[in-house]
Structure 1
Amino acid sequence: MGRTMEWAASAEHLGGFPRRLVFTAVGAFAKAVASLLNSSYVHNADTLIRLVRSRPPGVPLITVSNHMSTLDDPLMWGFKGFPTFDANLGRWVLAAEDICFKNAFYSYIFRLGCGIDAGKCIPITRGGGIYQEHMNEALERLNDGAWLHTFPEGKVSQDDAPIRRLKWGTASLIVRAPLTPIVLPIVHHGFQKVMPEKFMFSRRPPLPLCNKRIDIIIGEPIEFDLPKMRQMAISQTRNKSFHINGWPCTSPDVLDEAAQRCLYATISEQIRTSMEILRNFRKSILKS
């Protein structure tokens, strides 16, 4: 499978003018909805802004969050003080190919950074596995030291329920990146009221709703001792039989598929636990 319209995502495409244009337009939309038409309350915003603006050169950033509406991205970056309009600082986003890239027009617009996922979008084929070609593209962006945002739950859920089991794609990128990314968990609540899935006649509203409370809880970076975790995964899966799908071995420790599965599950659970702590922290703030 080739890479869908990758040239449109290049910063050099038409001198970068189309990208700046759509980032300005979508950024203005996000600011208006999140900061003017609704009330956004953000905890620990300085940590996110610092990592976006001034993390060490070449160090990639992965932010992970729950997924409560189709407008989570871009609205979650529309709070006051966040550099929403800077296309150079803008995130890359993993976006569903069957929704955002279903024709040439959509593909071009989403590659630039417009639409539901208003970052610089990378299409992901649902069910295509963690070693599909576009995951390699995401890995290349991390290798460049870029910022990537993912919704590791894999789909929208508007229930105020515990964080579900996470897909392994984000964990695989953390492991495969030559330089371990900074991983920052975020949990939000309120976008499901701004853009409910079943507003009228079981459909979404034509425009975002107003006068809602939005809470964005930003955590601290999650630390992974990857060398130790790799060795534990190898040890735990040695001499055990697993169903094999034909995954390639990974370097530098030459992890076979069984060890990869163990490692990805461990990392995903660590991320899920961090997100669940933030979800409960939000509830404790409301009670106090």
Structure 2
Amino acid sequence: MGRRIMEWAARSDYMGGIPRKMVIMAVGGLAKAAVSLLNNTTVHNADTLLRLVRSRPPGVPLVTVSNHMSTMDDPLLWGFKGFPITDAKLSRWALAAEDICFKSSMLSYFFRLGKCIPIIRGGGIYQEHMDEALERLSEGEWLHTFPEGKVSQEDAPIRRLKWGTASLIARAPVTPIVLPIVHTGFEQLFEVLDNDVNKQRHSCGRTLSIYVKRKNIYLALNLCFIFIRI
């Protein structure tokens, strides 16, 4: 097994789970304030997502996929009213760019406590942390991914999707439920300047929309990759 970045901090039993709960409650509270209080948010078909997060069949993993409009899409996506964003047990696992979220020991520790899995963009579908993501799916966990592979604030159709998410779905030991989500408005809260995610203009008082596909998708896979496009 290769090196996994601070995997110990991502374990549910690390220090009794207290650091994880603290991080998720703090981040979740800020996300809920940003989405539910400081901006006007409309969520379509939220009941589908809530049902799958809270009461899907035991042992069945959930994979949610969405477009990527800002560096704060996750956790803001889950900040709408009624969603249990501060519940560490129900919280999603997320794939996160290693070069952004794990570029220092402090950031690595923080994002690991927040149930994030570091991914090297361009590192291929068989990199070490993809195996970690598969392990989470085998445990029946919820995993969120951004198949575009990068932030895109262009007013254009969703770009060609990377095949990493499809690979995870195809290779998962237990066939996951796949739920597509599309959102708009977060790019107005965190506007990227000069195509550099490190340069942003922040604002509030915007109108946000989150669309959840009403019907979740069950995939029966053999030796094929399934690409999902909204």
Q: Which amino acid aligns with 2:117?
A: I
1:175 aligns with 2:170: yes
Query: Is 1:44 paired with 2:45?
Result: yes
- Counting only pairs closer than 5 Å after superposition, residues 264-279 of structure 1 correspond to structure 2 as 264=225, 267-268=226-227, 271-272=228-229, 275=230
CA displacement at 1:210 relative to structure 2: 1.1
Deviation at 1:198, TM superposition (A): 2.2
Looking at structure 2, the residues matched to 27 and 85 of structure 1 have their Cα atoms a distance apart, in angstroms, of 5
**1:111 counterpart residue number:** 112
2:204 is equivalent to residue 210 of structure 1: yes
Shift of 1:66: 0.1
1:157 to partner: Cα distance:
0.4
Distance in 1 separating the partners of 2:32 and 2:51: 19
Query: SS where residue 154 of structure 2 aligns?
Result: coil
Write the distance in 1 (CA, Å) between the matches of 2:94 and 2:155: 24
Q: Which residue of structure 1 lines up, in the alignment, with residue 186 of structure 2?
A: 191
Name which of 117, 125, 129 aligns with 1:130: 125
Aligned to 1:121: 116
- Cα shift at 1:223: 3.3
Q: Could you tell me which residue of structure 2 aligns to residue 235 of structure 1?
A: none
Contact 2:94/2:117 (CA < 8 Å) preserved in 1?
A: yes
Structure 2 unaligned regions, length at least 5:
none
Residues 50-102 of structure 1: per-residue CA shift (max 9 Å, x gap): 00000000000000000000010000100001001100000000001111111
Q: Which residue of 1 aligns with 2:7?
A: 6
Distance 1:12 1:193 in 2: 38
Aligned-partner Cα distance in 2 for 1:210–1:32:
11
The residue number in structure 2 matching 1:89 is 90
Structure of higher CA gyration radius: 1
Paired residues, what number? 226
- Between the aligned residues of both structures, percent identity stands at 66
Equivalent-residue separation in structure 2 for 1:24 and 1:223 (angstroms): 31
The TM-score with structure 2 as length reference comes to 0.95
CA positional deviation for 1:8: 0.1
TM-score by length of 1: 0.76
1:223 paired residue number? 218
Q: What is the CA-CA distance between 1:159 and the residue it aligns to? A: 1.4
* Structure 1 counterpart SS, 2:27: helix
Which letter does structure 2 place at the counterpart of 1:224? L
Equivalent in the alignment of 1:35: 36
Partner of 1:57: 58
